[in-house]
Copies of this chain bind each other. A is one copy, B any other.
Amino acid sequence: MTAYARLTARFARIATIGEAASMLSWDAAAMMPSGGGAARGDQLAVLAGLAHGLLTDPATADDLAAAFAGDDAWQHANLALMRHAHTRATAIPADLVEAQARANSSCEKVWREARRASDFAAVAPQLTEVVGLVREQAAALAPALGLSEYDALMDGYQRGIGAADVAPVFAAYSTFLHTALPLAESIQAAKSAPIRPRGPFAPDVQEALCRRLSEAAGLEPSHSRLDRSTHPFCGGTATDVRITTRYNQHDFSQSLMGVMHETGHALYERGLPAAYARQPVGEAAGMAAHESQSLIMEMQACRSDAYLSWLGPLLLQSFGGDPDTYAGDNLARLWRRVERGFIRVDADEMTYPAHVILRFRLEQALVSGDLLVADLPGAWNDGMRDLLGITPPDDARGCLQDIHWYDGAVGYFPSYTLGAMAAAQLMAAARREVTGLDAGLAEGDLAPLRHWLRTKVHSQGSLLGFNELLRAATGKPLDPSDFEAHLTTRYLV
Protein backbone atom coordinates (compact mmCIF):
# COMPACT_ATOMS: atom_id res chain seq x y z
CA MET A 1 0.00 0.00 0.00
CA THR A 2 1.42 3.39 -0.95
CA ALA A 3 1.58 6.29 1.45
CA TYR A 4 -1.07 8.05 -0.64
CA ALA A 5 -3.39 5.03 -0.47
CA ARG A 6 -2.95 4.88 3.31
CA LEU A 7 -3.78 8.56 3.50
CA THR A 8 -6.98 8.21 1.45
CA ALA A 9 -8.10 5.40 3.79
CA ARG A 10 -7.27 7.52 6.83
CA PHE A 11 -9.02 10.62 5.53
CA ALA A 12 -12.07 8.52 4.59
CA ARG A 13 -12.17 7.33 8.19
CA ILE A 14 -11.89 10.89 9.47
CA ALA A 15 -14.67 11.99 7.11
CA THR A 16 -16.88 9.10 8.20
CA ILE A 17 -16.50 10.17 11.84
CA GLY A 18 -17.42 13.66 10.64
CA GLU A 19 -20.56 12.27 9.00
CA ALA A 20 -21.60 10.68 12.29
CA ALA A 21 -21.02 13.98 14.07
CA SER A 22 -22.99 15.85 11.43
CA MET A 23 -25.98 13.54 11.92
CA LEU A 24 -25.79 13.93 15.69
CA SER A 25 -25.67 17.73 15.34
CA TRP A 26 -28.75 17.63 13.09
CA ASP A 27 -30.50 15.45 15.64
CA ALA A 28 -29.59 17.85 18.44
CA ALA A 29 -31.20 20.72 16.55
CA ALA A 30 -34.19 18.92 15.03
CA MET A 31 -35.11 15.93 17.19
CA MET A 32 -33.36 15.69 20.54
CA PRO A 33 -35.34 16.18 23.76
CA SER A 34 -33.78 18.84 25.98
CA GLY A 35 -32.59 16.27 28.52
CA GLY A 36 -30.24 14.75 25.96
CA GLY A 37 -28.12 17.87 25.58
CA ALA A 38 -25.33 17.11 28.04
CA ALA A 39 -24.71 13.59 26.71
CA ARG A 40 -24.83 14.86 23.14
CA GLY A 41 -22.10 17.40 23.92
CA ASP A 42 -19.93 14.56 25.20
CA GLN A 43 -20.64 12.42 22.15
CA LEU A 44 -19.67 15.22 19.78
CA ALA A 45 -16.54 16.01 21.79
CA VAL A 46 -15.41 12.38 21.74
CA LEU A 47 -15.99 12.13 17.97
CA ALA A 48 -14.11 15.40 17.38
CA GLY A 49 -11.26 14.11 19.52
CA LEU A 50 -11.09 10.82 17.61
CA ALA A 51 -11.02 12.62 14.24
CA HIS A 52 -8.41 15.08 15.49
CA GLY A 53 -6.34 12.19 16.82
CA LEU A 54 -6.34 10.45 13.43
CA LEU A 55 -5.42 13.67 11.63
CA THR A 56 -2.56 14.59 13.94
CA ASP A 57 -1.25 11.06 14.40
CA PRO A 58 2.50 10.88 13.65
CA ALA A 59 1.75 8.21 11.04
CA THR A 60 -0.26 10.81 9.11
CA ALA A 61 2.72 13.17 9.07
CA ASP A 62 5.02 10.37 7.92
CA ASP A 63 2.71 9.43 5.07
CA LEU A 64 2.20 13.06 4.08
CA ALA A 65 5.96 13.51 3.91
CA ALA A 66 6.38 10.38 1.76
CA ALA A 67 3.25 10.55 -0.39
CA PHE A 68 3.29 11.12 -4.13
CA ALA A 69 -0.05 11.69 -5.80
CA GLY A 70 1.07 11.31 -9.40
CA ASP A 71 0.00 13.48 -12.31
CA ASP A 72 -3.75 13.26 -11.81
CA ALA A 73 -5.04 16.74 -11.01
CA TRP A 74 -7.66 15.42 -8.56
CA GLN A 75 -5.22 13.30 -6.62
CA HIS A 76 -2.72 16.13 -6.68
CA ALA A 77 -5.27 18.55 -5.24
CA ASN A 78 -6.42 15.92 -2.76
CA LEU A 79 -2.93 15.46 -1.36
CA ALA A 80 -2.41 19.23 -1.15
CA LEU A 81 -5.68 19.56 0.79
CA MET A 82 -4.66 16.73 3.12
CA ARG A 83 -1.41 18.56 3.84
CA HIS A 84 -3.36 21.76 4.37
CA ALA A 85 -5.75 20.13 6.85
CA HIS A 86 -2.85 18.52 8.67
CA THR A 87 -0.98 21.83 8.86
CA ARG A 88 -4.00 23.59 10.33
CA ALA A 89 -4.62 20.81 12.86
CA THR A 90 -1.02 20.55 14.04
CA ALA A 91 -0.28 24.29 14.09
CA ILE A 92 -2.49 24.86 17.13
CA PRO A 93 -1.26 23.45 20.44
CA ALA A 94 -3.64 21.01 22.14
CA ASP A 95 -4.01 23.24 25.20
CA LEU A 96 -5.09 26.15 22.99
CA VAL A 97 -7.70 23.93 21.28
CA GLU A 98 -9.07 22.99 24.68
CA ALA A 99 -8.96 26.53 26.02
CA GLN A 100 -10.87 27.76 22.98
CA ALA A 101 -13.50 25.04 23.25
CA ARG A 102 -14.06 25.92 26.89
CA ALA A 103 -14.01 29.70 26.43
CA ASN A 104 -16.28 29.64 23.35
CA SER A 105 -18.82 27.43 25.05
CA SER A 106 -18.85 29.52 28.20
CA CYS A 107 -19.00 32.84 26.31
CA GLU A 108 -21.81 31.63 24.08
CA LYS A 109 -23.93 30.78 27.13
CA VAL A 110 -23.36 34.19 28.71
CA TRP A 111 -24.03 35.87 25.35
CA ARG A 112 -27.53 34.37 25.10
CA GLU A 113 -28.49 36.06 28.34
CA ALA A 114 -26.59 39.27 27.51
CA ARG A 115 -28.36 39.58 24.17
CA ARG A 116 -31.74 39.02 25.80
CA ALA A 117 -30.95 41.78 28.30
CA SER A 118 -29.13 43.91 25.71
CA ASP A 119 -26.24 44.13 28.19
CA PHE A 120 -22.91 44.13 26.38
CA ALA A 121 -20.94 44.68 29.61
CA ALA A 122 -22.24 41.36 30.93
CA VAL A 123 -20.45 39.43 28.21
CA ALA A 124 -17.47 41.72 27.55
CA PRO A 125 -15.08 39.78 29.84
CA GLN A 126 -15.95 36.48 28.14
CA LEU A 127 -15.67 38.02 24.69
CA THR A 128 -12.31 39.51 25.64
CA GLU A 129 -11.07 36.04 26.51
CA VAL A 130 -12.48 34.53 23.33
CA VAL A 131 -10.92 37.24 21.15
CA GLY A 132 -7.62 36.86 22.98
CA LEU A 133 -7.59 33.14 22.24
CA VAL A 134 -8.62 33.74 18.62
CA ARG A 135 -5.61 36.05 18.31
CA GLU A 136 -3.39 33.30 19.72
CA GLN A 137 -4.94 30.87 17.25
CA ALA A 138 -4.31 33.27 14.37
CA ALA A 139 -0.72 33.82 15.51
CA ALA A 140 -0.15 30.05 15.57
CA LEU A 141 -1.80 29.44 12.19
CA ALA A 142 -0.34 32.37 10.22
CA PRO A 143 3.30 31.23 9.99
CA ALA A 144 2.31 27.61 9.38
CA LEU A 145 0.07 28.61 6.47
CA GLY A 146 2.18 31.49 5.19
CA LEU A 147 -0.78 33.84 5.56
CA SER A 148 -1.51 36.99 7.52
CA GLU A 149 -3.21 36.40 10.83
CA TYR A 150 -6.68 37.45 9.67
CA ASP A 151 -6.32 35.50 6.42
CA ALA A 152 -5.32 32.42 8.41
CA LEU A 153 -8.70 32.68 10.17
CA MET A 154 -10.63 33.28 6.92
CA ASP A 155 -8.84 30.27 5.47
CA GLY A 156 -10.69 28.11 8.00
CA TYR A 157 -13.98 28.99 6.28
CA GLN A 158 -13.05 29.74 2.69
CA ARG A 159 -9.66 28.73 1.42
CA GLY A 160 -7.88 30.71 -1.27
CA ILE A 161 -9.21 34.16 -0.62
CA GLY A 162 -7.98 36.77 1.82
CA ALA A 163 -8.52 40.28 3.06
CA ALA A 164 -6.55 41.69 0.12
CA ASP A 165 -9.09 40.14 -2.27
CA VAL A 166 -12.08 41.12 -0.20
CA ALA A 167 -11.23 44.69 0.80
CA PRO A 168 -11.37 46.29 -2.69
CA VAL A 169 -14.55 44.38 -3.54
CA PHE A 170 -16.23 45.57 -0.38
CA ALA A 171 -14.93 49.14 -0.84
CA ALA A 172 -16.41 49.21 -4.33
CA TYR A 173 -19.71 47.96 -2.99
CA SER A 174 -19.81 50.63 -0.29
CA THR A 175 -19.44 53.25 -2.97
CA PHE A 176 -22.16 51.63 -5.08
CA LEU A 177 -24.50 51.40 -2.11
CA HIS A 178 -24.00 55.04 -1.23
CA THR A 179 -25.93 56.08 -4.33
CA ALA A 180 -27.88 52.91 -5.07
CA LEU A 181 -29.69 52.63 -1.77
CA PRO A 182 -31.36 56.07 -1.73
CA LEU A 183 -32.26 55.59 -5.39
CA ALA A 184 -33.80 52.17 -4.75
CA GLU A 185 -35.74 53.60 -1.83
CA SER A 186 -37.20 56.42 -3.88
CA ILE A 187 -38.15 54.09 -6.74
CA GLN A 188 -39.77 51.74 -4.26
CA ALA A 189 -41.63 54.56 -2.56
CA ALA A 190 -43.08 55.64 -5.91
CA LYS A 191 -44.63 52.21 -6.49
CA SER A 192 -47.85 51.05 -4.90
CA ALA A 193 -47.43 49.18 -1.63
CA PRO A 194 -47.66 45.39 -1.85
CA ILE A 195 -50.75 43.55 -0.55
CA ARG A 196 -49.80 41.25 2.32
CA PRO A 197 -51.28 37.74 2.28
CA ARG A 198 -53.69 37.31 5.18
CA GLY A 199 -52.88 34.46 7.50
CA PRO A 200 -52.74 32.47 9.61
CA PHE A 201 -51.02 29.91 7.40
CA ALA A 202 -51.06 26.44 8.95
CA PRO A 203 -47.52 25.08 9.41
CA ASP A 204 -48.53 21.73 7.93
CA VAL A 205 -49.73 23.41 4.75
CA GLN A 206 -46.55 25.49 4.56
CA GLU A 207 -44.48 22.36 5.11
CA ALA A 208 -46.24 20.42 2.36
CA LEU A 209 -45.63 23.26 -0.06
CA CYS A 210 -41.98 23.60 1.00
CA ARG A 211 -41.49 19.89 0.39
CA ARG A 212 -43.09 20.14 -3.01
CA LEU A 213 -40.95 23.10 -4.07
CA SER A 214 -37.75 21.61 -2.74
CA GLU A 215 -38.42 18.36 -4.54
CA ALA A 216 -39.36 20.22 -7.72
CA ALA A 217 -36.01 21.99 -7.45
CA GLY A 218 -34.34 18.61 -7.63
CA LEU A 219 -33.77 17.50 -4.04
CA GLU A 220 -34.68 13.79 -3.94
CA PRO A 221 -36.74 12.55 -0.94
CA SER A 222 -34.76 9.30 -1.12
CA HIS A 223 -31.64 11.26 -0.16
CA SER A 224 -32.96 14.04 2.06
CA ARG A 225 -35.26 15.14 4.86
CA LEU A 226 -36.98 18.41 5.67
CA ASP A 227 -37.61 19.01 9.38
CA ARG A 228 -38.12 21.86 11.82
CA SER A 229 -35.56 23.64 13.98
CA THR A 230 -35.17 26.99 15.69
CA HIS A 231 -32.43 28.04 13.28
CA PRO A 232 -32.75 26.78 9.69
CA PHE A 233 -29.69 24.94 8.37
CA CYS A 234 -28.47 22.28 5.99
CA GLY A 235 -26.68 19.34 7.56
CA GLY A 236 -26.27 15.62 7.20
CA THR A 237 -24.14 14.01 4.52
CA ALA A 238 -23.91 13.93 0.74
CA THR A 239 -26.25 10.93 0.34
CA ASP A 240 -28.52 11.89 3.22
CA VAL A 241 -28.92 15.67 3.39
CA ARG A 242 -30.97 17.11 6.22
CA ILE A 243 -32.47 20.57 5.81
CA THR A 244 -34.57 22.41 8.36
CA THR A 245 -36.73 25.46 8.58
CA ARG A 246 -39.21 27.08 10.96
CA TYR A 247 -42.79 28.11 10.27
CA ASN A 248 -44.22 31.52 11.02
CA GLN A 249 -48.01 31.28 10.99
CA HIS A 250 -48.26 34.89 9.83
CA ASP A 251 -45.67 34.85 7.05
CA PHE A 252 -45.06 31.84 4.85
CA SER A 253 -42.34 33.59 2.87
CA GLN A 254 -39.81 32.90 5.62
CA SER A 255 -40.18 29.14 5.45
CA LEU A 256 -40.63 29.07 1.68
CA MET A 257 -37.59 31.14 0.81
CA GLY A 258 -35.67 29.59 3.71
CA VAL A 259 -36.28 26.11 2.36
CA MET A 260 -35.22 27.13 -1.15
CA HIS A 261 -32.05 28.62 0.38
CA GLU A 262 -31.27 25.36 2.21
CA THR A 263 -32.22 23.40 -0.91
CA GLY A 264 -29.46 25.28 -2.74
CA HIS A 265 -26.98 24.15 -0.08
CA ALA A 266 -28.38 20.62 -0.23
CA LEU A 267 -28.11 20.35 -4.02
CA TYR A 268 -24.45 21.32 -3.75
CA GLU A 269 -23.85 18.44 -1.32
CA ARG A 270 -25.83 16.06 -3.53
CA GLY A 271 -23.82 17.04 -6.58
CA LEU A 272 -20.33 16.65 -5.10
CA PRO A 273 -18.12 14.16 -6.97
CA ALA A 274 -19.03 10.68 -5.67
CA ALA A 275 -15.69 9.33 -6.85
CA TYR A 276 -14.01 11.51 -4.23
CA ALA A 277 -16.57 11.09 -1.47
CA ARG A 278 -14.96 11.37 1.98
CA GLN A 279 -11.79 12.84 0.49
CA PRO A 280 -10.82 16.49 1.01
CA VAL A 281 -10.99 17.17 -2.75
CA GLY A 282 -14.53 15.78 -2.81
CA GLU A 283 -15.84 18.35 -0.34
CA ALA A 284 -17.57 21.63 -1.13
CA ALA A 285 -15.11 24.38 -2.04
CA GLY A 286 -15.74 26.47 1.08
CA MET A 287 -18.32 28.56 2.89
CA ALA A 288 -18.47 31.32 0.27
CA ALA A 289 -18.87 28.73 -2.47
CA HIS A 290 -21.62 27.08 -0.42
CA GLU A 291 -23.41 30.36 0.14
CA SER A 292 -23.27 31.05 -3.60
CA GLN A 293 -25.35 27.90 -4.12
CA SER A 294 -27.97 28.75 -1.52
CA LEU A 295 -28.27 32.31 -2.75
CA ILE A 296 -28.38 31.49 -6.45
CA MET A 297 -31.37 29.34 -5.58
CA GLU A 298 -33.10 31.68 -3.15
CA MET A 299 -32.21 35.14 -4.41
CA GLN A 300 -31.39 34.69 -8.10
CA ALA A 301 -33.79 31.95 -9.17
CA CYS A 302 -36.70 31.87 -6.73
CA ARG A 303 -37.16 35.63 -6.39
CA SER A 304 -36.93 36.14 -10.16
CA ASP A 305 -39.98 37.49 -12.03
CA ALA A 306 -40.17 34.23 -13.97
CA TYR A 307 -40.25 31.94 -10.92
CA LEU A 308 -42.63 34.19 -8.96
CA SER A 309 -45.08 34.15 -11.89
CA TRP A 310 -45.11 30.35 -11.63
CA LEU A 311 -45.17 30.28 -7.83
CA GLY A 312 -48.16 32.63 -7.42
CA PRO A 313 -50.89 30.19 -8.55
CA LEU A 314 -49.35 27.45 -6.39
CA LEU A 315 -49.55 29.71 -3.35
CA LEU A 316 -53.15 30.56 -4.12
CA GLN A 317 -53.94 26.88 -4.42
CA SER A 318 -52.25 26.10 -1.08
CA PHE A 319 -53.39 29.03 1.02
CA GLY A 320 -56.42 30.48 -0.73
CA GLY A 321 -57.51 34.10 -0.24
CA ASP A 322 -57.29 37.13 -2.53
CA PRO A 323 -55.80 36.12 -5.92
CA ASP A 324 -54.28 39.60 -6.37
CA THR A 325 -52.03 38.87 -3.42
CA TYR A 326 -50.38 36.08 -5.36
CA ALA A 327 -49.85 37.93 -8.62
CA GLY A 328 -46.19 37.84 -9.63
CA ASP A 329 -45.71 41.61 -9.45
CA ASN A 330 -47.23 41.77 -5.97
CA LEU A 331 -44.98 38.95 -4.76
CA ALA A 332 -42.03 40.83 -6.26
CA ARG A 333 -42.94 44.00 -4.37
CA LEU A 334 -43.42 41.93 -1.20
CA TRP A 335 -40.28 39.83 -1.32
CA ARG A 336 -37.89 42.25 -2.97
CA ARG A 337 -38.13 45.21 -0.65
CA VAL A 338 -35.13 47.32 0.23
CA GLU A 339 -35.05 48.50 3.82
CA ARG A 340 -32.35 49.88 6.13
CA GLY A 341 -32.51 47.68 9.21
CA PHE A 342 -30.44 46.77 12.22
CA ILE A 343 -30.51 42.99 11.93
CA ARG A 344 -28.31 41.18 9.42
CA VAL A 345 -30.41 38.03 9.11
CA ASP A 346 -33.50 40.09 8.29
CA ALA A 347 -31.72 42.28 5.71
CA ASP A 348 -32.62 42.45 2.02
CA GLU A 349 -30.02 41.53 -0.58
CA MET A 350 -28.96 45.14 -1.23
CA THR A 351 -28.29 46.18 2.36
CA TYR A 352 -27.07 42.77 3.56
CA PRO A 353 -23.50 43.39 2.34
CA ALA A 354 -23.35 46.53 4.49
CA HIS A 355 -23.85 44.36 7.57
CA VAL A 356 -21.05 42.09 6.41
CA ILE A 357 -18.70 44.92 5.52
CA LEU A 358 -19.15 46.34 9.01
CA ARG A 359 -18.27 43.00 10.60
CA PHE A 360 -15.34 42.47 8.21
CA ARG A 361 -13.86 45.82 9.23
CA LEU A 362 -14.42 45.28 12.93
CA GLU A 363 -13.16 41.71 13.15
CA GLN A 364 -9.96 42.64 11.33
CA ALA A 365 -9.44 45.38 13.91
CA LEU A 366 -10.17 42.99 16.78
CA VAL A 367 -7.60 40.51 15.45
CA SER A 368 -4.94 43.16 14.84
CA GLY A 369 -5.55 44.66 18.27
CA ASP A 370 -6.55 48.03 16.84
CA LEU A 371 -9.99 47.64 18.37
CA LEU A 372 -10.53 46.65 22.00
CA VAL A 373 -13.59 44.64 22.95
CA ALA A 374 -14.66 47.45 25.26
CA ASP A 375 -14.85 49.80 22.27
CA LEU A 376 -16.87 47.42 20.11
CA PRO A 377 -20.38 48.85 20.73
CA GLY A 378 -19.28 52.37 19.80
CA ALA A 379 -17.38 51.21 16.74
CA TRP A 380 -20.36 49.15 15.68
CA ASN A 381 -22.78 52.03 15.90
CA ASP A 382 -20.36 54.37 14.09
CA GLY A 383 -20.10 51.79 11.31
CA MET A 384 -23.86 51.43 10.99
CA ARG A 385 -24.21 55.19 10.67
CA ASP A 386 -21.45 55.28 8.07
CA LEU A 387 -22.76 52.37 5.99
CA LEU A 388 -26.54 52.58 6.35
CA GLY A 389 -27.11 55.91 8.06
CA ILE A 390 -28.92 54.40 11.03
CA THR A 391 -27.99 53.99 14.70
CA PRO A 392 -28.96 50.84 16.64
CA PRO A 393 -31.17 51.76 19.61
CA ASP A 394 -29.44 49.15 21.77
CA ASP A 395 -26.66 46.56 21.58
CA ALA A 396 -29.13 43.69 21.17
CA ARG A 397 -29.86 45.24 17.79
CA GLY A 398 -26.17 46.09 17.45
CA CYS A 399 -23.03 44.20 18.29
CA LEU A 400 -24.84 41.53 20.33
CA GLN A 401 -27.06 40.24 17.51
CA ASP A 402 -24.87 37.52 15.98
CA ILE A 403 -23.51 34.45 17.70
CA HIS A 404 -20.35 34.18 15.56
CA TRP A 405 -17.73 36.14 17.53
CA TYR A 406 -19.13 35.00 20.87
CA ASP A 407 -18.55 31.45 19.73
CA GLY A 408 -15.02 32.16 18.49
CA ALA A 409 -15.92 32.30 14.77
CA VAL A 410 -13.87 35.16 13.35
CA GLY A 411 -13.29 35.37 9.58
CA TYR A 412 -16.59 33.76 8.62
CA PHE A 413 -18.71 36.83 7.85
CA PRO A 414 -17.18 37.77 4.47
CA SER A 415 -18.35 34.40 3.08
CA TYR A 416 -21.97 35.55 3.11
CA THR A 417 -21.37 38.46 0.77
CA LEU A 418 -18.72 36.72 -1.33
CA GLY A 419 -21.38 34.06 -1.83
CA ALA A 420 -24.02 36.60 -2.83
CA MET A 421 -21.67 38.15 -5.34
CA ALA A 422 -20.56 34.78 -6.70
CA ALA A 423 -24.23 33.79 -7.05
CA ALA A 424 -24.92 36.80 -9.25
CA GLN A 425 -21.79 36.13 -11.28
CA LEU A 426 -22.72 32.46 -11.78
CA MET A 427 -26.32 33.36 -12.67
CA ALA A 428 -25.14 35.83 -15.29
CA ALA A 429 -22.90 33.15 -16.81
CA ALA A 430 -25.68 30.56 -16.69
CA ARG A 431 -28.04 32.99 -18.46
CA ARG A 432 -25.42 33.44 -21.21
CA GLU A 433 -24.76 29.74 -21.60
CA VAL A 434 -28.07 28.01 -20.92
CA THR A 435 -30.80 28.75 -23.42
CA GLY A 436 -34.27 28.85 -21.96
CA LEU A 437 -33.12 29.29 -18.38
CA ASP A 438 -35.73 31.94 -17.55
CA ALA A 439 -38.35 30.19 -19.65
CA GLY A 440 -37.71 27.17 -17.44
CA LEU A 441 -38.04 29.24 -14.26
CA ALA A 442 -41.38 30.52 -15.53
CA GLU A 443 -42.56 26.90 -15.46
CA GLY A 444 -40.96 26.17 -12.11
CA ASP A 445 -38.31 24.16 -13.91
CA LEU A 446 -34.95 24.54 -12.18
CA ALA A 447 -33.35 21.63 -14.01
CA PRO A 448 -31.50 23.73 -16.63
CA LEU A 449 -29.91 25.87 -13.90
CA ARG A 450 -29.25 22.86 -11.67
CA HIS A 451 -27.54 20.92 -14.44
CA TRP A 452 -25.32 23.86 -15.27
CA LEU A 453 -24.39 24.29 -11.59
CA ARG A 454 -23.79 20.58 -11.23
CA THR A 455 -21.29 20.67 -14.09
CA LYS A 456 -19.61 23.96 -13.27
CA VAL A 457 -19.66 23.98 -9.46
CA HIS A 458 -20.99 20.92 -7.59
CA SER A 459 -19.06 18.22 -9.43
CA GLN A 460 -15.84 20.22 -9.09
CA GLY A 461 -15.65 19.58 -5.34
CA SER A 462 -12.56 21.29 -3.96
CA LEU A 463 -10.48 20.76 -7.09
CA LEU A 464 -10.22 24.52 -7.58
CA GLY A 465 -9.92 27.45 -5.23
CA PHE A 466 -12.79 29.95 -4.94
CA ASN A 467 -11.51 32.37 -7.57
CA GLU A 468 -10.34 29.58 -9.87
CA LEU A 469 -13.72 27.92 -9.63
CA LEU A 470 -15.39 31.18 -10.63
CA ARG A 471 -12.90 31.73 -13.43
CA ALA A 472 -13.55 28.26 -14.85
CA ALA A 473 -17.31 28.71 -14.58
CA THR A 474 -17.69 32.36 -15.59
CA GLY A 475 -14.47 33.39 -17.30
CA LYS A 476 -13.28 35.66 -14.50
CA PRO A 477 -12.44 35.65 -10.80
CA LEU A 478 -14.81 37.24 -8.30
CA ASP A 479 -16.15 40.43 -9.82
CA PRO A 480 -18.78 42.41 -7.93
CA SER A 481 -20.04 44.06 -11.09
CA ASP A 482 -22.42 41.19 -11.86
CA PHE A 483 -23.95 41.57 -8.40
CA GLU A 484 -24.29 45.32 -8.90
CA ALA A 485 -25.81 44.74 -12.34
CA HIS A 486 -28.28 42.30 -10.80
CA LEU A 487 -29.29 44.81 -8.14
CA THR A 488 -29.53 47.57 -10.70
CA THR A 489 -31.90 45.54 -12.86
CA ARG A 490 -33.99 44.44 -9.91
CA TYR A 491 -34.14 47.66 -7.85
CA LEU A 492 -32.92 50.66 -9.82
CA VAL A 493 -34.96 50.65 -13.00
Report A's interface with B, CB cutoff 8 A. Answer: 13, 16-17, 19-20, 23-24, 27, 31-36, 38-40, 42-43, 46-47, 50, 220-225, 236-240
Q: Quick check: B31 and A43 within 8 Å, CB to CB? A: no
Number of copies: 2
Q: Which residues of B contact A17 (CB under 8 A)?
A: 46-47, 50
How far is the CB of A262 from the nearest CB of chain B, in Å? Answer: 15
CB nearest neighbor in B for A21 = B20
Tell me, rounded to whole Å, the shortest Cβ–Cβ distance linking A446 to chain B. Answer: 20
Since A20-B43, A23-B43 are in contact, a sample of 20 more A-B pairs with Cβ atoms closer than 8 Å, ordered by chain A residue number, is A13-B46, A16-B39, A16-B46, A17-B46, A17-B47, A20-B46, A20-B47, A31-B225, A32-B240, A33-B223, A33-B224, A35-B222, A36-B236, A36-B239, A36-B240, A38-B239, A39-B239, A39-B240, A40-B240, A50-B50
CA distance A225 to B32 in the complex (A): 8
CB distance from A233 to the nearest CB of B (A): 16
CA distance A33 to B224 in the complex (A): 6
Q: Flag if A39 contacts B222 (CB, 8 Å).
A: no
Closest chain-B Cβ to A18's Cβ sits at a distance in Å of 10
CB neighbours (8 Å) of A35 from chain B are 220, 222-223, 239-240
Of residues A32, A35, A220, which shows the largest number of chain B Cβ atoms within 10 Å of its Cβ? Answer: A35
In the complex, A43→B240 CA distance in Å? Answer: 12
**Could you tell me the distance between the alpha carbons of A23 and B445 in the complex, rounded to whole angstroms?**
37
Q: For the complex, what is the distance from the CA of A221 to the CA of B17, rounded to whole Å?
A: 29
CA distance A20 to B47 in the complex (A): 9
Contact A39 B223, CB 8 Å, known A46-B13, A46-B20? no
For A225, the chain B residues whose CB sits under 8 A away are 31, 33
Q: What separation, in Å, do the CA atoms of A10 and B27 have in the docked complex? A: 26
Complex: chain B residue closest to A221, CB-CB:
B33
With CB as the reference atom, state the residue of chain B lying closest to A38.
B239
Per the bound structure, the CA–CA distance linking A225 and B35 in Å amounts to: 11
Chain B residue at smallest Cβ distance from A31: B225
Chain B residue nearest in CB terms to A240: B36
For residue A36, which residues in chain B have a CB less than 8 angstroms away from its CB?
A: 223, 236-237, 239-240
Pull 25 A–B residue pairs with CB atoms less than 8 Å apart, ordered by A: A16-B39, A16-B42, A16-B43, A17-B47, A19-B43, A20-B24, A20-B43, A23-B24, A23-B27, A23-B43, A27-B27, A31-B225, A32-B240, A33-B221, A33-B222, A33-B224, A33-B240, A35-B220, A35-B222, A35-B223, A35-B239, A36-B236, A36-B237, A36-B240, A39-B237
A434–B32 CA distance with the chains assembled, in angstroms: 35
Report the bound CA distance from A31 to B32 in whole Å: 13
Report the bound CA distance from A20 to B22 in whole Å.
11
Residues in B whose Cβ lies below 8 Å from that of A238: 39
Q: Assess the B222–A34 pair: CB atoms within 8 A.
A: yes
Instruction: A20 to B19: give the CA distance in the assembly, Å.
Output: 11
- Closest Cβ neighbor of A223 among chain B residues: B35
Residues from chain B with Cβ under 8 Å of A221 in the complex: 33
Closest 3 CB pairs of A and B: A36-B240, A35-B223, A35-B222
How long is the Cα–Cα vector from A238 to B43 in the complex, in angstroms?
Answer: 13
- Complex: how many Å from CA A34 to CA B223? 7
Most chain B beta-carbon neighbours within 10 Å: one of A17, A33, A223: A33
- In the bound assembly, the distance between CA atoms of A165 and B222 in angstroms comes to 48
| A299 to B47 Cα, complex, angstroms | 40
What residues on B are CB-neighbors of A220 within 8 Å?
Answer: 35
